[in-house]
Each structure stands twice: as structure tokens, then as C-alpha cells.
């Protein structure tokens, strides 16, 4: 299991601003409230598929670099 700080550091190291915002918003990493895909899509102007791809990118990065 990773600490919140480790996850946030990994996100900062591998993502651009929009990708960070998607992940932080999707999983509630700052305010503890996870948001649905539809809200992120509307808020940031990205498709649901883009949100899913970003999620996968982050999970893959974390697995590779924090293992």
C-alpha cells in the first residue's frame, strides 16, 4: 500500500496539469470527495475515454516506480 504523499508525488512527476487535475478530482485526493466521470468530463472538457486512459497511465506509473 502506498501513502497519500507517495501517490501525489508520483502524480506530480509523471503528469501534465490537465492529467493531474483529472486524477486528483476523480479520486478526491485533495478534498476526499471522488467525482464521477461525467462531472470531470464536463468540468475539464475531456471525454470519458480520456479520463480512463489517464487513470490507467497513473496506475501503470505507480506500479512501475513505487514497487
For 33-51, write each residue's pLDDT tens digit.
Answer: 999 999 999 998 989 998 8
Residue 67 has pLDDT above 70, yes or no: no
pTM score of the predicted model: 0.75
d(CA 58, CA 64): 10
Q: Which residues contact 37 (CB under 8 A, 6 or more apart)?
A: 26, 48, 51, 52
pLDDT-based confidence at residue 12 (cuts at 50, 70, 90): confident
Supply the pLDDT for residue 36.
94
Find the Cα–Cα–Cα–Cα dihedral 9, 37, 50, 61, rounded to 10°: 30
Computed on alpha carbons and rounded to an integer, the radius of gyration of the chain in Å comes to 11
Q: Span 4-66: which CATH code?
A: 1.10.10.10
For 21-34, write each residue's pLDDT tens digit.
Answer: 888 898 898 899 99
The ranges assigned to domains in the chain are: 4-66
Q: Smallest Cα–Cα separation from 46: which of 19, 9, 66, 28?
A: 19
Amino acid at each position: 500500500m502506498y501513502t497519500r504523499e507517495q501517490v501525489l508525488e508520483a502524480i506530480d512527476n509523471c503528469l501534465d496539469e490537465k492529467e493531474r487535475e483529472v486524477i486528483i478530482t476523480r479520486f478526491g485526493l485533495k478534498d476526499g470527495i471522488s467525482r464521477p466521470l461525467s462531472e470531470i468530463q464536463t468540468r475539464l472538457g475531456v471525454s470519458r475515454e480520456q479520463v480512463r486512459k489517464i487513470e490507467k497511465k497513473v496506475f501503470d506509473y505507480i506500479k512501475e516506480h513505487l514497487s
